[in-house]
Amino acid sequence: MRKNLCEYADRPLNECTRLELFNALLRWTDEAARERGYNEGKKKLYYISAEFLIGKLLSNNLINLGLYDEASRQLSAAGVELAELEEFESEPSLGNGGLGRLAACFLDSLATLGLPADGVGLAYHCGLFRQSFVDNRQYETPDGWLRWGTESWMHRTATHYDIPFGGMTLRSTMYEIDVTGYEGKCGRLRLFDVDTADERLIKAGIHFDQTDIARNLTLFLYPDDSTDAGRLLRVYQEYFMVANAARLILDEAVARGSNLHDLADYAAVQINDTHPTLVIPELIRLLTERGVRETEAISIVTKVCGYTNHTILAEALEKWPIAYLERAVPHLMPIIRRLDSRVRNEFDDPFLWIIDNSGYVHMANLDIHYSHSVNGVARLHTEILKNTELAPFYAVYPEKFNNKTNGITFRRWLMSCNQNLADLIDGTIGTGWRRDARELEKLMKHADDPELLRLLACVKRVNKRRFAEWIFRHQGAVIDPDSVFDVQSKRLHEYKRQQLNLLWIIREYQRIREGLLPARPVTVIFGAKAAPAYTIAKDIIHAILCLSDVIDADLAASKWLKVVMVENYNVSAAEKLIPACDLSEQISLASKEASGTGNMKFMLNGAVTLGTMDGANVEIAELVGRDNIYTFGASSDQVIERYRRGDYDPMAYLNADGELAAAVDFLVSEPMVAVGDKARLERLRHELANKDWFMTFPDFSDYCRVKARALSDMADETAWTKKALVNIAKAGFFSSDRTIEQYNGEIWGL
Ligand code: NBG
C-alpha cells in the first residue's frame, strides 16, 4: 500500500475536486483493506439478512484501518476537511431500522474479532425510500444511493447464479463490500442483484409495476405489502436472496473441503428474522440434488441453521399463503409439505404446525423446527418468547432457546461519531476500552471528579451546537443549543409510542400557555420514517409536524418549547443526533420492544434514558441503577395480562383525566386544523380515543410525572452529568463484540 493520498489521485491534492479526493480516499482504503486480507477458517458464518443498514463507510473504514489521522492531516494540508468529504458520500439505503443496523454492527464485530463471516443480502437499487416533508406530510421518493459518483465501495464480482422461479429463471450477479475490522482483517458483505433489474420501471414516487418481477425484483427494500402483488413480490425477493446464499454456501464449503455430509463443520447460517427462512428448504433441496438423502439433508440443515427472533408483533411474523409459494417457488412446496408432515406426525398442537388449516405457511415455525438454535435479542424478550409467545415451542424444544442481548459497535457509535468524547475517555482511563469495551467501567472511579464532569458537559455542549448547525443546513430548522435536547429517534410505529411523546408536548404547550413554565427550554427532536402503507404512523408524523408549526407560530410559547422532526432520518443523521442528546426517549409499550439498540447508542454517548421497563431498557436499568435512569409505566406482565383480559377501554382514561382529554382534543383543534389536514388529524384522534391498541393512555400520567422529574433534575448540571458518566461507564456490556462472542460461543462455534 502506498503511504500518501496523492499517490491515489491523478493530480496534486489541492487541485482535485471533492469527488476526485473522495475517489482517491476510496482507492486508498480499498487497497489497505485488501492488504489486510480476509478472516479465514474451516468453518464460516453466513449471516443472511434482508437489511444491512451499514451507513457511510469513509470515516468508519479510515478508523478501522488506522488511517484516519493520516488522511485528515494530508487533506488539511491541501485545504480540505475530511468532514466535508463525508458529507459528500451517499449512505447505502439497505435497511429500515434496528434490525438492519444490528446486522451492520455484527459485521463490524465479526471482522474485528477475526471470525470468518459474510453478510448475505440484496443490493436494492433504491433502498427503503427517501423521506421528505411537504405540507406536513411524509412523501417517499426512491433513494438512489447506487447512482452516485464514478466509483463505489461495492465491487461487482464474476459470481453469477441461475435462480429458478415458477415459470422463469433469473440470472444473478454478486456484489461485494469489504467490511473492515478494527485493527484487524476484513469480512465481506455480499449483495445479490438480478441482471434484469430496471429502474425505469419506477413511476411517480416509489410506485412501479409490481408484477414485472424480472425488472422490479431488487428495486426496493420492503415493497408495499398492502396488496397481493406487493406481498407476492416479497416472496420472490426472499427466495432470490436465499437461493443465491444457499448456492454460495455450498460452493464455498465444497471448495474448503466439505463433502456436504459434514456441512455443519464448514458452515453456520444465521437466519436474521423470518425473511431468510426459505434458505432451509432450499438448502435441503440443493443437498438432495447433490446426492444427499432427504432425511440426512434435513438433519444437516438443522445443525447448520440458527434463527433470531426480533419481535413478538404478529404482523412481523411472516406467514405466506400456499398459493404465493406455489406460484413463486413451486419446487420448494413439496419439501415444505414434507417438513410440515413430519411436524404433524410428531405434534398434535396446531400451533406448532408449519402449514395451518387456512393454508398459510408460518415462517417462524419452519425456522424453529429446523434450526438448532432460537434466540431472542434481550433478556426480557427471550423470557416472553419462552413463557408466552412461543411457549408451546419452548415446551417441546427447551434446549433450542437462548438469549443474546443486542449490542452496538463502539467504533461507529463512539469513536467515529463522538471523537471528542472518545478522546476525553482516553485521557481519563487510557485507550484499552477501544479494544475491550468493558474497560469503560474504569470511569466509575472518576465519577466524582469535578474537572472530568465539567469537560464531559463541555463535550455535550459542543455536540449540541454541532447538531444545531447541521439541522439548520439540513432542513433550515433553527434550534437553541442551550435548550434541553429530548430525543426520540426510531422507526415510526404505534408500539414505540411517538404518540405518547406527542401528547406530552401538547400538554406541556397547554401548560406554558397557562403560565406554567418548564425549568429550561426544551427541544423535542424526532427522527422516524413511517412504512409507506402504514396510515396511522403517517398520521402521527402529520400531527407532530403540525404541532411543530403551531408552537413555532406562538411567539411566547416557542421560547420554551420547540418540536423538530429530522427529515430522512438515517444512520448519518443518527451519528450527528445521538451525541447531542440529553434525554433519550425509550417509551415503547412494555413487552413490545424486543430490545432496542438506539437506547444503547444514546447511553454510550452520555444521554440519560427515560423509558419503560421494556427490551434492553431492563438491562440498562439494572446496570446503571435507579438513580441514573428514569422509568415509568405498566410492566410487561401487567400489559400482557391487560391484553389477555381484553377489557382495555381508552374512553375510561379520557373520562377520568382532564389533562389527557384536553391533549387528545387538541389534535383536532382550530390551530392544528389550520396547518394540517382535518381528516388525518381526526383519524388519529379517533384511533386513540377508541382503540389505542398500544395502550398510550394508561401510561400517560406516569410518563408526565417522571418526565417532569427528569427535566427538573437536569437543572443541577453536575449531578446530571454524573448520571451521564455512569451511563457511559456501564455501556461496555452493550458492545456488539460481547454479543458476537456469545453467538459464536453458544451457537456458531467458528
Ligand atoms: C427490531 C426490534 C428492536 C430490536 C431490533 C434488533 C424488527 C423486526 N425488530 O427492538 O423492534 O432492537 O429488531 O434486534 O425490526
Looking at ligand 1, which atom is closest to the CA of residue 377? 14
Question: Could you tell me which of 106, 101, 97 has the C-alpha nearest to residue 404?
Answer: 106
Grid coordinates representing 685 are 384522534
Looking at ligand 1, which atom is closest to the CA of residue 101? 6
Residue 663, Cβ density class (10 Å: 0-12 exposed, 13-18 middle, ≥19 buried): buried
pLDDT value at residue 144: 87
* Residue 2 pLDDT > 90: no
The residue contributing the CA closest to ligand 1 atom 12 is: 596
DSSP state, 365?
Answer: H
Q: In this structure, how many other beta carbons lie within 10 angstroms of the beta carbon of residue 587?
A: 27
Q: What percent of the chain has pLDDT over 70?
A: 99
Contact 609, 599 (CB under 8 A): yes
Residue from 96, 106, 310 to probe ligand 1 pocket by mutation (most atoms less than 8 Å from CB): 310
Residue 520 to residues 80, 508, 707, Cα–Cα distance (Å): 38, 12, 13
Pocket of ligand 1 (CB under 6 A): 97-99, 102, 273, 310-311, 316, 377, 406, 593-597, 615
Q: What is the 158 CA–ligand 1 centroid distance (Å)?
A: 34
- Is 379 tagged catalytic? no
Can you tell me the mean pLDDT for 381-392?
97
Q: What is the 260 CA–ligand 1 centroid distance (Å)?
A: 34
- Is 496 tagged catalytic? yes
Grid coordinates representing 672 are 392544528
Grid coordinates representing 304 are 447448520
Give the separation between CA 233 and CA 211, rounded to whole angstroms. Answer: 8
- Is 491 tagged catalytic? yes
* Residue 1 pLDDT > 90: no
Contact 91, 127 (CB under 8 A): no
pLDDT value at residue 150: 59
Looking at ligand 1, which atom is closest to the CA of residue 381? 10
Residue 92 to residues 492, 496, 653, Cα–Cα distance (Å): 20, 25, 44
pLDDT value at residue 414: 98
What are the residues facing 657 on neighbouring strands?
A: none
User: Model confidence at 147, in pLDDT bands (50, 70, 90)?
Assistant: low
Residue 690, Cβ density class (10 Å: 0-12 exposed, 13-18 middle, ≥19 buried): exposed
Which residues have a Cβ under 8 Å from the Cβ of 419 and sit 6 or more positions away?
Answer: none
Question: Could you tell me which of 159, 643, 218, 576 has the C-alpha nearest to residue 389?
Answer: 643
pLDDT value at residue 614: 98
Residue from 94, 377, 403 to probe ligand 1 pocket by mutation (most atoms less than 8 Å from CB): 377
User: Model confidence at 149, in pLDDT bands (50, 70, 90)?
Assistant: low
The residue contributing the CA closest to ligand 1 atom 6 is: 99
**What is the phi/psi pair of residue 3, to 5°?**
-90, -25
Residue from 311, 375, 601 to probe ligand 1 pocket by mutation (most atoms less than 8 Å from CB): 311
Instruction: Kindly report, residue by residue over 88-143, the tens digit of the pLDDT.
Output: 788 998 999 999 999 999 999 999 999 999 999 999 999 999 999 999 999 999 99
What angle in degrees, to the nearest 10, is found between the helix axes of 498-513 and 535-553? 20
Residue 656, Cβ density class (10 Å: 0-12 exposed, 13-18 middle, ≥19 buried): exposed
AA letter at 327 = R
Can you tell me the mean pLDDT for 567-592?
98
Looking at ligand 1, which atom is closest to the CA of residue 97? 15
Sign of CA dihedral 203, 209, 210, 216: negative
pLDDT value at residue 700: 98
The residue contributing the CA closest to ligand 1 atom 3 is: 596
Q: What percent of the chain has pLDDT over 90?
A: 94
Grid coordinates representing 229 are 402483488
Contact 465, 557 (CB under 8 A): no
- DSSP letters, 500-552, are HHHHHHHHHHHHHHTT---SS-EEEEEE----TT-HHHHHHHHHHHHHHHHHH
What's the first-to-final CA gap in the chain, in angstroms? 30
Question: What average pLDDT is seen over the chain?
Answer: 96
Lowest-pLDDT range, 84-88, 190-194, 370-374, 540-544? 84-88
Among the listed residues 112, 405, 409, 597, the single catalytic one is 597
The residue contributing the CA closest to ligand 1 atom 13 is: 99
Question: Could you tell me which of 42, 45, 34 has the C-alpha nearest to residue 748?
Answer: 45
- Is 490 tagged catalytic? yes
- Is 310 tagged catalytic? yes
Residue from 315, 496, 586, 595 to probe ligand 1 pocket by mutation (most atoms less than 8 Å from CB): 595
DSSP state, 415?
Answer: I
Q: What is the 172 CA–ligand 1 centroid distance (Å)?
A: 29
Q: What is the 273 CA–ligand 1 centroid distance (Å)?
A: 9
Can you tell me the mean pLDDT for 246-271?
98
SS3 668: coil
AA letter at 32 = A
Instruction: Kindly report, residue by residue over 38-62, the tens digit of the pLDDT.
Output: 999 999 999 999 999 999 999 999 9
Instruction: Kindly report, residue by residue over 454-500, the tens digit of the pLDDT.
Output: 999 999 999 999 999 999 999 999 999 999 999 999 999 999 999 99
Q: What is the 610 CA–ligand 1 centroid distance (Å)?
A: 19
Instruction: Kindly report, residue by residue over 663-712, the tens digit of the pLDDT.
Output: 999 999 999 999 999 999 999 999 999 999 999 999 999 999 999 999 99
Q: What is the 523 CA–ligand 1 centroid distance (Å)?
A: 27
Among the listed residues 434, 460, 529, 601, the single catalytic one is 601
Q: What is the 318 CA–ligand 1 centroid distance (Å)?
A: 15
Q: What is the 407 CA–ligand 1 centroid distance (Å)?
A: 12
Residue from 53, 96, 99, 384 to probe ligand 1 pocket by mutation (most atoms less than 8 Å from CB): 99
Give the separation between CA 589 and CA 13, rounded to whole angstroms. Answer: 53
Give the separation between CA 166 and CA 170, rounded to whole angstroms. Answer: 11
State pTM to two decimals.
0.98
Q: What is the 480 CA–ligand 1 centroid distance (Å)?
A: 32
Q: What is the 716 CA–ligand 1 centroid distance (Å)?
A: 35
Among the listed residues 56, 285, 310, 372, the single catalytic one is 310
- DSSP letters, 673-690, are HHHS-HHHHHHHHHHHHH
Grid coordinates representing 656 are 377520568
The residue contributing the CA closest to ligand 1 atom 15 is: 99
Q: CA 561 from chain center: how many Å?
A: 29
Contact 20, 10 (CB under 8 A): yes
Can you tell me the mean pLDDT for 282-311?
98
Question: Could you tell me which of 718, 726, 729 has the C-alpha nearest to residue 453?
Answer: 718
Sign of CA dihedral 732, 736, 739, 741: negative
Looking at ligand 1, which atom is closest to the CA of residue 615? 10
| Helix extents (H) in 264-384 | 279-289, 294-304, 322-328, 333-346, 363-369, 379-384
Contact 131, 140 (CB under 8 A): yes
Looking at ligand 1, which atom is closest to the CA of residue 597? 12
Q: What is the 377 CA–ligand 1 centroid distance (Å)?
A: 8
Give the separation between CA 677 and CA 661, rounded to whole angstroms. Answer: 21
Instruction: Kindly report, residue by residue over 297-336, the tens digit of the pLDDT.
Output: 999 999 999 999 999 998 778 999 999 999 999 999 999 9
- Is 464 tagged catalytic? no
Instruction: Kindly report, residue by residue over 642-675, the tens digit of the pLDDT.
Output: 999 999 999 999 999 999 999 999 999 999 999 9
* Residue 377 pLDDT > 80: yes
Among the listed residues 464, 491, 576, 680, the single catalytic one is 491
Alpha-carbon torsion, ordered 194, 195, 196, 199, to 10 deg: 80
Backbone φ/ψ region at 632: left (φ over 0), alpha (ψ -120 to 50), beta: beta
Give the separation between CA 54 and CA 103, rounded to whole angstroms. Answer: 8
* Residue 146 pLDDT > 80: no
Among the listed residues 490, 576, 723, 730, the single catalytic one is 490
